A = this chain, B = another copy of it.
Amino acid sequence: MSDTREQILEQIKVQGDLVRQLKATKESKEKLPLAPSSEGRAISTSVGQQLKAQQQQLQEQQQQEQQQQMHKIDEEVSRLLALKAKLGGDAAPANQKFTLKTPKGTRDYAPQQMTLRQDVLDKIVQVFKRHGGEAIDTPVFELKEVLTGKYGEDSKLIYDLKDQGGEILSMRYDLTVPLARYLAMNKISSIKRYHIAKVYRRDNPAMTRGRYREFYQCDFDIAGTYDPMLADAECVKIVAEVLDTLDIGDYVIKLNHRQLLDGMFEACGVPASSFRAICSAVDKLDKSPWADVRKEMVDEKGLDGATADKIGEYVRLSGGAELVEQLLADEKLKAVSNAVKGLEGMQLLLKYCSLFGLEQRVSFDLSLARGLDYYTGVIYEGVLKADPSAPPSPVKEIHNGDQATEQSSTVGSVAGGGRYDNLVGMFDPRGKAVPCVGVSIGVERIFSVLEAKFAASKVKLRTNDVEVYVASAHKGLHEQRLRVLNQLWDAGIKAEHSYKLNPKLLAQLQHCEEHQIPLAIVLGDAELAQGIVKLREVTTRQEANVNLTELPNEIRRRLQK
């Protein structure tokens, strides 16, 4: 303890120093000349220039101070963390008991869940491959600066790694930014790739709705300089194919266009510098009522009420090609070039979607905004419609921030994406852009829906593929079992046995029934003496003698039936 006490004393001294320094900084700031106020307009030019120079000086000084303060805070944080490590140490005291759990917002997948998941992922990959997708993979973490400035307000949800010497790393937040980094780094100007991997967000988990801090994303993206909306429409088609093949209930694919949103904001009188912030407020309309979103726009984002109300008029609109026509005739919108371009794009997209047989599946929806900063064109979101007959979710965990209402059968968005033409250019040293459009399937929510379905149906999924169980009819046959197993494995047959020397026959046959293994071989001295074994069909319990040398062929024959 004495070492630690000294450390605390030292720490107290250091903190005192910091307090003094921060105070000094503040005092020196107060001694600076005042910046020009609105009353000081009618002053002579020279005084004005002087003031301007002083103002600039003040700004520079403030920036410098800010940097110094941040540096001090960094130092202080490392000191405190080091002290904490000293107090607690890294080595756990012997026999220390702690709650056995996975980290907040994460979960294990048991064999039943893995079977379901693998089935879902296989089906999704099939769709991706049907559209010519190639797979890539990237590391689970990136240099922190790769992620910096890509996610707007959501950046606070990024997991950082501890600075253990070396590079500063963060966990990937999605698969889109790593793709853009990959394309720029390898100077790839066109690719159609899919990527299935886990991403990480320090969000408030709502695990009952399939929202986790660690979750799989299944992304399909088309990069390349192409003609308008051809690749975009194919991504919408892919969303529809995925949701159709997974058969998880009725859905709608909402469509919108960032250029139209920007044009609409402009038409309503939102200053250009607020477009992203207002867009991010609109994005909350799927979870919050308009009144709350309006409040955020006015109170937090400084929009005047009348402008917010104009936005409110537009964002409640949704429909099809007829709505595009209507908006192209809208007096306010048709005066704004961005709005017209967005609407024309939407017109073309809706036409292509109709050629893909998706008229009944898509809905042009002006309330769709998508949270991420990097979208530049079409945006879309596949949303499951609430199914009132659906059973309640079987997941019992309820975490902070979950409300009872969140446990309804509405799982909401299960796919989303859009066009992002400038993201790759942010990584290219010469800013060379590679236009991209893509879609991300929200498989965790899909897993949740399917798990609930399976729990309700009481169907037991097989979690292993064993074809034959090798059993002993009596004691002393374990070496014979190993010989037979070896023969089967070498013939490519999936086989297992008890790892006990002398298991009871009943226990062995029960194992087969429990695990839905179709065939069992029963070894006995009498049969083995004649070079034969009993082959038993587990469900019918019918047995037949089979020559040992014929065993693999006979098993294959029976499995094909």
Contacts and interface: CB of A to CB of B under 8 A. Distances in A.
Contacts of A149: 90-92
A198 B352 CA distance: 40
Contact of A15 (B18, B482, B494): B18
Contacts of A233: 482
Interface residues of A, number: 131
Contacts of A159: 161-162, 164
B135 A111 contact: yes
A419 to B, nearest CB: 13
A494 B161 contact: no
A543 B101 CA distance: 62
A355 B483 contact: yes
Interface stretch (A180-188, A265-273, A280-288, A387-395): A180-188
Given A103-B167, A108-B139, 11 more contacts: A70-B87, A77-B77, A91-B155, A98-B145, A100-B427, A109-B135, A130-B493, A131-B495, A132-B466, A159-B164, A230-B482
A560 to B, nearest CB: 18
Interface string A197-216: 01010100000000000100
B84 A111 contact: no
Interface in A424-465: 427, 429, 463-465
B167 A104 contact: yes
A407 B234 CA distance: 46
Contacts of A96: 145, 148
Nearest to A118: B135
Interface of A: 1, 4-5, 8-9, 11-12, 15-16, 18-19, 22-23, 26, 29, 62, 66, 69-70, 73-74, 76-77, 80-81, 83-85, 87-92, 96-98, 100-104, 106-111, 114-115, 117-118, 129-143, 145, 148-149, 155-156, 158-164, 166-167, 169, 171, 181-182, 184-186, 191-193, 198, 200, 202, 214, 222, 224, 226-227, 230-231, 233-234, 237, 241, 352, 355-357, 427, 429, 463-466, 478-479, 482-483, 486, 489-490, 492-496, 498-501
A90 B148 contact: yes
A32 B482 CA distance: 68
9 contacts: A100-B184, A102-B139, A108-B185, A129-B465, A132-B464, A135-B463, A140-B214, A233-B482, A241-B489
A343 to B, nearest CB: 20
A224 B503 CA distance: 14
Contact of A66 (B70, B85, B88, B163): B88
Given A85-B156, A101-B143, A111-B135, A230 B499 contact: yes
A102 B138 contact: yes
B66 A73 contact: no
Contacts of A231: 499
A29 B89 CA distance: 22
Query: Quick one: which of A62, A161, A233 has the most chain B CB within 10 A?
Result: A161
A106 B109 CA distance: 26
A77 B500 CA distance: 54
A87 B66 contact: yes
3 smallest A-B Cβ distances: which pairs?
Answer: A226-B499, A111-B134, A132-B496
Nearest to A143: B103
Contacts of A87: 66, 69-70, 73
Contacts of A80: 73, 76-77, 80
